[in-house]
Amino acid sequence: MRYTRNDFKNQDTQSKKGFYVAACAVLACAAVLGTAYFQTQKTENMKNSNVAERPAATAAGKTSISKNWQSDAGEDGKKDSEQASTTMNADRVNKQKDKADKKKIEVKANKKKENKEKNISKATAMSAGKKTFSEEKGLTWPVKGDILMKFSQSNNVYFKTLAQYKSNPAIEISADKGTKVIASAAGRVVEINKDDITGTMVTTDIGSNYKITYGQLTDLKVKKGDEVKEGQLLGVVAEPTKYFSEEGSNLFFQVKENGKAVDPLLLLN
């Protein structure tokens, strides 16, 4: 076969075209591979970045949650503390109130008791005030015996033990030691006392401004404030005091009207 110059030229041209096509194909492949490589690297980098950031985010989240829990716990603790404090204060107030109420009850009870005692005393006083003594009826003899010493407002009564004449604001009725002494009239015991001269004495208010005093007594059967009936046992005759040692045992019997001594013999029946 015979080749012409144009044939070589054409072959050369075709060869160049083939070379360019192959080169373009190679470049295209390289571009694709490069793109794929860079895409793969980017993906890996993103994965690595996510993996690295996730624990930090998780740690931050845990810290945030922990703070929230602490905050919540603090609020709850504060609320619990406030509630406990309120409860304690309420209990304290209730205890103080109970104590105050108890004290009020005690004060009220004491006041009631005092009022009751006052009412009793008042009733007793009124009762005594209402009692009347009749001079016409007179007095019952407290003991049976002779008049040892008479009543006198002048110095004409002889006291044997004292060996002198004196006035006598009462009468002494001779009676053996242990002789029973009865109330000469109904009344109330207003005083019980002891004197060196007349010994233990019981005074009764018989009403109408009259009072009777019984002296030289022992083994008393009444106490102050008692209401006594006429003829009721008051006590017994005691051993005479040293001021009546020569006269012997006796009953000191005195009657007063409006605080002034009067002769009991004028009233005794």
> How far is residue 58 from each of residues 46, 47, 69, 71, measured CA to CA in Å?
18, 16, 16, 19
Question: How high is the pLDDT of residue 94?
Answer: 76
Task: Classify burial at 54, counting beta carbons within 10 Å of its beta carbon; exposed 0-12, middle 13-18, buried 19 or more.
Answer: exposed
CA–CA distance, 227 with 124 (Å, rounded to integer): 8
Whole-structure pTM value:
0.54
How many other β-carbons are positioned within 10 Å of the β-carbon of residue 172?
Answer: 28
CB distance 211 to 256 below 8 Å: yes
Beta-carbon-side half-sphere exposure of residue 268 (alpha carbons within 13 Å): 20
Average pLDDT, consecutive stretches of 10 residues, N- to C-terminus, the chain (269 residues): 49 58 65 63 57 47 51 52 64 76 80 69 52 92 97 94 96 98 98 96 97 98 97 98 96 97 96
Can you give 178-193 as a three-state secondary structure string?
Answer: CCEEECCCCEEEEEEE
Task: Compute the C-alpha angle 209/212/217, nearest 5°.
Answer: 160
CA–CA distance, 212 with 201 (Å, rounded to integer): 10
